[in-house]
A and B are shown apart, each in its own frame.
Chain A
């Protein structure tokens, strides 16, 4: 499968712990996005990278969240001091540019207990 890959698929963590998720976009895609989706809702935009530069961050992204995309390839999303409200599906998407739609990954489902 040459689509967008996310790892892990599922993560259960205790409140207060740190977690890190990884996204591998389609190789020729220079744009990478992180979204969060809760049950019964549409995805919510978190942050956007063009190559290695993080160009946009949603106000939903608190100081506990940080994302990186070293070398403009894969990306990581870290959540520090997790809270129960962080429980959600974290989706990564990539695209070639504004003339092209997104390809989403299958997501990482985070459960904070």
Chain B
């Protein structure tokens, strides 16, 4: 089955700086790659996703890039703010998030230092 590795496990950046979280996946058939943000004690919330026919996607301060050849994808957050502090999970799916469910990474705890 699919295996998703996520790095780093903890990332501390100064407010205003950029943060990058990286994930690799094992199954070349995976075609859907969402990112979720989970604040302490709250539900995971979808923040951005990308499909395998696209190399990059942006939404304001957040961007995701996908390298299908290398089987890795990354989350980029620019101009970080205190409210960006949370655990971020990447995930991958073969059927576009359908019947096989999502395989999640172990998460990155992002800490924004004031």
Say which size band chain B's interface belongs to. 20 to 34
Looking at the complex, which of A12-20, A77-85, A99-107 is the stretch in contact with chain B?
A99-107
- Tell me whether A48 and B99 are in contact in the complex, defined as CB-CB below 8 angstroms, given that A41-B106, A42-B104, A106-B43 are known contacts: yes
Selected from A41, A45, A105, the residue in CB contact (under 8 A) with B43 is A105
- With both beta carbons as reference points, the residue of chain B lying nearest to A35 in the complex is identified as B101
Known: A42-B104, A42-B106. A31 touches B98 (CB 8 A): yes
Chain B positions within 8 Å of A107 at CB level: 43
The smallest beta-carbon distance between A52 and chain B, in angstroms, is 15
Residue of B6, B103, B104, B105 with highest tally of chain A CB at under 10 A: B104
B14 is an interface residue with CB less than 8 A from chain A: no
Query: Is the CB of B71 closer than 8 A to any CB of chain A?
Result: no
> How many Å lie between the Cα of A56 and that of B95 in the bound state?
12
- Decide if B97 touches A101 in the complex (CB within 8 Å): yes
Q: Which listed residue (A41, A98, A105, A106) contacts B98, Cβ 8 A?
A: A98
The answer to whether B95 touches A98 (Cβ under 8 A) is yes
By the criterion CB–CB under 8 Å, are B46 and A98 in contact? no
What is the chain A residue whose CB lies nearest that of B97?
A: A98
Q: Which residue of B lies closest to A92 (CB)?
A: B43
Q: Is the pair A91, B43 in contact by a Cβ cutoff of 8 Å? A: yes
**Of residues 21 to 68 in A, which have CB atoms within 8 Å of B's CB atoms?**
31, 33, 35, 40-45, 48, 50, 55-56, 58
Asked if residues B43 and A104 are in contact (CB atoms below 8 Å), the reply is yes
The CA of A22 and the CA of B103, in the complex, are separated in Å by: 23
B interface residues, Cβ below 8 angstroms from A: 4, 6, 32, 34, 36, 42-46, 49, 89, 91, 95-107
Report 8 cross-chain contacts, Cβ distance below 8 Å, ordered by A residue.
A42-B4, A42-B105, A48-B99, A56-B100, A58-B101, A100-B97, A101-B34, A104-B44
Given contact pairs A100-B97, A102-B97, A104-B45, a sample of 12 additional A-B residue pairs in the complex whose CB atoms are under 8 Å apart: A42-B4, A42-B91, A43-B89, A45-B100, A45-B101, A45-B102, A91-B44, A98-B95, A99-B96, A101-B34, A106-B43, A107-B43
